Amino acid sequence: QKEVEQDPGPLSVPEGAIVSLNCTYSNSAFQYFMWYRQYSRKGPELLMYTYSSGNKEDGRFTAQVDKSSKYISLFIRDSQPSDSATYLCAMSRITGGGNKLTFGTGTQLKVEL
């Protein structure tokens, strides 16, 4: 079983919809939770990160972490066709070393006109 599970989709929504993307994880040592956006054949782009539990908002994006359920979410409000991409969740432990990221498989999102 993978440490981080993410539904690969594809997820198709109409323009203007609220999108909910989710990941579950098994390792309680994870403390930092990131969301990346990746367009086809490009490198991942960091959208936002959250430390421990709670919510964080940045424009149309809201990240939520529920450590008790080992569940994280990314909400996108007023979705646009330009939001069409693969969304990757990633997690990191607090260690004395490198904070390597453990990723989910990514969810492919398509926002249609």
Partner 1 sequence: DTGVSQNPRHKITKRGQNVTFRCDPISEHNRLYWYRQTLGQGPEFLTYFQNEAQLEKSRLLSDRFSAERPKGSFSTLEIQRTEQGDSAMYLCASSSDTRPYEQYFGPGTRLTVT
- What are 29's two structure tokens? 């040592």
**Least distance from partner 1 to the Cβ atom of residue 76, Å:** 19
In terms of Cβ atoms closer than 10 Å to its own Cβ (0-12, 13-18, 19+), residue 9 is middle
SS3 83: helix
- If we measure between CA atoms, which residue out of 84, 78, 32 comes closest to residue 59? 78
Nearer Cβ to partner 1 (74/106): 106
**Least distance from partner 1 to the Cβ atom of residue 96, Å:** 10
**Least distance from partner 1 to the Cβ atom of residue 11, Å:** 15
Nearer Cβ to partner 1 (77/100): 100
Nearer Cβ to partner 1 (15/58): 58
- What are 47's two structure tokens? 């959208």
Binding site for partner 1 (CB under 8 A): 4, 6, 8, 32, 34, 36, 41-46, 49, 88, 90, 92, 97-106
Task: Please provide residue 89's backbone torsions phi and psi, each rounded to the nearest 5 degrees.
Answer: -95, 150
**Least distance from partner 1 to the Cβ atom of residue 19, Å:** 19
Task: Please provide residue 78's backbone torsions phi and psi, each rounded to the nearest 5 degrees.
Answer: 45, 55
Nearer Cβ to partner 1 (19/35): 35
